[in-house]
């Protein structure tokens, strides 16, 4: 549901890894549905939910997080057409608000929902950026709650494993706390770096090397998408930004005092932590 970069890559990976599956895609725009069919992404693609949902056993929501509850509510009105105990998961970058909202919507239906979030993506968007290996070795975070059916959880684990992901499980709250620091903060930091570096002198971009490109790459992501993500997880994002602010203040003090030992220690700590990233 919503075949952009993640949805398109998912369809490509499923086509390769599960060749017997009948794949369907729902798109908001008719031209997107036509492209999906013509390029072989899906066996059926449509803007009509009832056509796409008819008989399906697994649905993956790949729309922006703020649109998921309304889409889920529309799905509930069509629950009679899906397979019994149809499993629903999502790819949302925020979990606590999304899982709470979707569990509430699906509680009055035959759907069985499990929240999830693959740590895969790109600053690029749309089907043209999709690739079948996007989820290979990516951390795929599953966020079950007390309301999660064990059989649905088993299905979602198997799904992300099939796509090549490294499955990790945690609560929605823990997810939002961790992802604010390892995904949302880096996006904010990239945006701040791009603004600080180029706002007063855009011509400095001509001097940019790989360090600047690597550091600011994600700042090229869709502003509309990231506005929704940052606002949905704003409390945890604020906490991570405050932590970054404190470290910037520490660094400023070190530079003002020309303290080479403290500066080396600061940079060494950062290197040690970064070296531990798989």
Looking at the fold, whether 77 and 180 belong to one and the same domain comes out as no
Q: Give the pLDDT confidence score for residue 125 in this predicted structure.
A: 73
Give the separation between CA 23 and CA 204, rounded to whole angstroms.
47
Boundary residue ending a domain (170, 201, 221): 170
CB 59 within 8 A of CB 83: no
* Rounded distance between C-alpha atoms, residue 117 and residue 169, angstroms: 10
In tens, the pLDDT along 103-151 reads: 999 998 999 999 999 998 766 677 777 888 999 999 999 999 999 999 9
Q: Looking at the structure, do residues 153 and 17 belong to the same domain, yes or no?
A: yes
pLDDT digits (tens, 9 = 90+) for 29-75: 898 899 888 888 899 999 999 999 999 999 999 998 889 999 999 99
What's the mean pLDDT in 206-211? 94
Dihedral (Cα; 234, 236, 242, 246), 10-degree rounding: -160
Q: Mean pLDDT in the chain? A: 93
CATH number (domain holding residue 147): 3.40.50.720
What pTM value is reported for the model?
A: 0.89
Residues 77 and 56 grouped into a single domain: yes
Question: Which one is predicted more confidently, 200 or 127?
Answer: 200
Range of the domain at 59: 5-170
SS3 state at 14: helix
Number of H helices, E strands in the chain: 12, 8
């Amino acid at each position: 549901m919503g075949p952009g970069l993640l949805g398109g890559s998912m369809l490509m990976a499923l086509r390769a890894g599960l060749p017997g599956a009948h794949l369907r895609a729902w798109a908001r725009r008719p031209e997107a549905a036509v492209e999906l069919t013509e390029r072989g992404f899906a066996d059926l693609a449509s803007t009509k939910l009832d056509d796409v949902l008819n008989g399906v056993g697994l649905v993956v929501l790949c729309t922006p997080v703020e649109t998921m509850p309304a889409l889920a509510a529309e799905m509930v009105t069509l629950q009679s057409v899906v397979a019994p105990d149809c499993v629903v998961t999502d790819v949302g970058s925020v979990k606590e608000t999304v899982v709470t909202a979707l569990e509430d919507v699906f509680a009055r239906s035959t759907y069985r929902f499990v929240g999830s979030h693959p740590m895969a993506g790109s600053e690029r968007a749309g089907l043209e950026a999709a690739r079948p290996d996007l989820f290979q070795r990516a951390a795929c975070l599953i966020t079950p709650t007390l309301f999660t059916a064990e059989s649905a959880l088993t299905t979602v684990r198997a799904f992300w494993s099939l796509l090549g992901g490294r499955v990790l499980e945690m609560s929605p709250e823990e997810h939002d706390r961790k992802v604010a620091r390892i995904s949302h903060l880096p996006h904010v930091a990239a945006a701040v770096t791009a603004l600080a570096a180029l706002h007063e002198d855009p011509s400095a971009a001509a001097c940019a090397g790989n360090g600047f490109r690597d550091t600011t790459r994600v700042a090229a992501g869709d502003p509309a998408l990231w506005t929704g993500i940052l606002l949905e997880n704003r409390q945890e994002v604020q906490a991570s930004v405050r932590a970054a602010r404190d470290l910037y203040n520490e660094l400023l003090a070190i530079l003002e005092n020309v303290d080479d030992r403290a500066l080396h220690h600061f940079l060494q700590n950062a290197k040690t932590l970064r070296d531990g990233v798989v």
